[in-house]
Amino acid sequence: MFESICLLGSTGSIGTQALDVARKHGIRVSALAAGSSEEKLEAQCREFHPETVYIGEAHYASLKTRLADTDVRVITGKDGLSALAAEDPSPCVVNALTGILGFLPTLAAIEAGKEIALANKETLVAGGDIVMERAREKGVRILPVDSEHSAIFQCLQGQKSFKRILLTGSGGPFFGKDRAFLKTVTAADALKHPNWSMGPKITVDSSTLMNKGLEFIEAVHLFGASPEQIEVVIQRESVIHSMIELPDGAVLAQMGTPDMRLCIQFALTYPDRTESPCKPLDLFEIGKLTFYKPDTDTFPLLALAKKAITRGGNLPAAMNGANEEAVWRFLRGEIGYTDIFDLVTKATEDCPFIEHPTVGEILQTDLEARERVR
């Protein structure tokens, strides 16, 4: 178990649940970071007494005033997140940021020799080759926090190899719907996930199946799998969080209630198993488990993600940046739901290909893809 953590993205869904785990197990929180949410961040500082807190520049002066009666150091600035990730004394950085914003702080933490509890999937989607190589060079672990990747990680404990990864997903709120129906979908509809409580961006991604596409790419990097070794399975009840098939045909599954605190806790207490704040799994209450193939004709972004990681290079970064921009445009009411599919596909296909991109080229690819969507 980590004695202390640096938590990036503390006011979001994953961040607040990570604090639940820290609270339960007495894990010290030495640093917090958020983009805005001053009131929430102030309350977190007063409860957890971090040494340092980061907030976006527009909210810096206000938070500094709010915390003037405390010893908490308030920082901001373009490079503030990366500096915090690298310089904070905790041995583990929990990256619960949303989007490409989490990429550079992850690299900074790795360079400083920190272990990474990673909930920011865009880090590996955009720059997985670079991130995993640097982690290997530094000898640091990247502990997955996503429920699916945590499940795979748990199933792999004690195993030397696997034949396939069976990556599960709920299918989102529009499972079984056709393209005509999707043209009528509003942001409020897309944010009604049937099983999970998550932030707005990931909830929309779940509804489009892009979240599963991003996780597909993440699994390639985390577990050294080829795209051909990964199969996506719709598991409507969100009870089986993912599975692995072993060389002899046996299948191991990790099951649990759909509560992110379980996988957050496993990352923070690994390799120990301790009592969690989650509701125990009641198989009699669930009654049955159902499985379906994903509908990639109606929801084309999963297939796009497979194509992007199969070719590799900077295409996953382009797809990720385009999707991030399209989702925020949809949430602001600027585009329709199915426009997300069309804009992301075109921006990815129009991306000039770079086989071995540098960090700078990944960030530039991200910016150009966003501009295509805008």
Q: How do residues 50-77 score in pLDDT, each as one tens digit?
A: 999 999 999 999 999 999 999 999 999 9
Is residue 93 located within the same domain as residue 228?
no
- Same domain assignment for residues 292 and 154: yes
Q: Is residue 269 part of a domain?
A: no
With a cut of 90, say whether residue 350 has pLDDT above it.
yes
Asked which of 144, 177, 201 is the last residue of a domain, the reply is 144
Question: One-letter amino acid identity for 269?
Answer: T
pLDDT of 244 above 70: yes
What's the rounded Cα separation, in Å, for the pair 200 and 107? 25
Q: What is the pLDDT of the chain when averaged over all its residues? A: 96
Give CA–CA dist 99/353, Å, rounded: 21
Q: How far apart are CA 346 and CA 371, in angstroms?
A: 12
In a domain, 307, yes or no: no
Mean pLDDT of 225-233: 98
Q: Which of 125, 144, 163 is the last residue of a domain?
A: 144
Domain count, the chain: 3
For the segment 278-286, the average pLDDT, to the nearest whole number, is 94
pLDDT score of 197 more than 70: no
Q: Is the pLDDT of residue 340 over 70?
A: yes
Q: Is 173 exposed, middle or buried (0-12, 13-18, 19+ CB in 10 A)?
A: middle
| 297 has a pLDDT exceeding 70 | yes
Is 188 among the domain residues?
yes
What was the pLDDT predicted at 198? 77
Residues 353 and 248 in one domain: no
What's residue 194's pLDDT?
A: 77
Name the CA radius of gyration of the chain, rounded: 20
List the structure tokens of 108.
Answer: 């900074």
As a whole-number percent, the residues of the chain with pLDDT over 70 amount to 99
Q: How far apart are CA 252 and CA 271, in angstroms?
A: 18
Residues 124 and 179 in one domain: no
Which single residue is written with the structure tokens 């382009």?
318
Instruction: Establish if 302 belongs to a structural domain.
Output: no
CA 366 → CA 34, 219, 317, 325, distances in Å?
A: 22, 21, 6, 10
Q: Is 264 inside any structural domain?
A: no
Task: Kindly state whether residues 132 and 174 are assigned to the same domain.
Answer: no
In the predicted model, what is the mean pLDDT of residues 81-88? 98
Give me the mean pLDDT over the 114-126 stretch. 96
C-alpha closest to that of 328 among 344, 352, 314, 317:
344
Q: Nearest-CA neighbor of 323 among 215, 217, 216, 210?
A: 210
On whether residue 51 sits in a domain, the answer given is: yes
Whether 110 has a pLDDT exceeding 80, the answer reads yes
Q: Does 282 lie in the same domain as 324?
A: no
Q: Which of 144, 159, 191 is the last residue of a domain?
A: 144
Sheet hosting strand 291-292, strand order edge to edge? 251-255, 240-245, 164-169, 230-235, 291-292
- Which residues lie across from 74 on neighbouring strands? 53
Start-end of H helices in 139-259: 147-155, 179-182, 187-190, 200-208, 210-223
Q: Is residue 305 assigned to a domain?
A: no
Confidence band (pLDDT; 50, 70, 90) for 235? very high
Residue 121 sits in a domain of what CATH number? Answer: 3.40.50.720
Question: Taking phi first (over 0 means left), then psi (-120 to 50 degrees means alpha), and beta for anything else, what does residue 158 get?
Answer: left
Give the SS3 label for residue 212. Answer: helix
Q: What is the CA 172 to chain-centroid distance, rounded?
A: 16
- 54: nearest Cα among 74, 38, 36, 39: 74
Q: Are residue 113 and residue 250 in the same domain, yes or no?
A: no
Global pTM value: 0.95
Same domain, 135 and 10: yes
- Residue 115's domain comprises 4-144
Residues 169 and 90 in one domain: no
Tell me, yes or no, whether 191 and 123 share the same domain.
Answer: no
Give me the pLDDT at residue 193, please.
81
Asked whether residue 234 is assigned to any structural domain, the reply reads yes
Whether 236 and 325 map to the same domain: the answer is no
Query: Do 214 and 341 have their domain in common?
Result: no
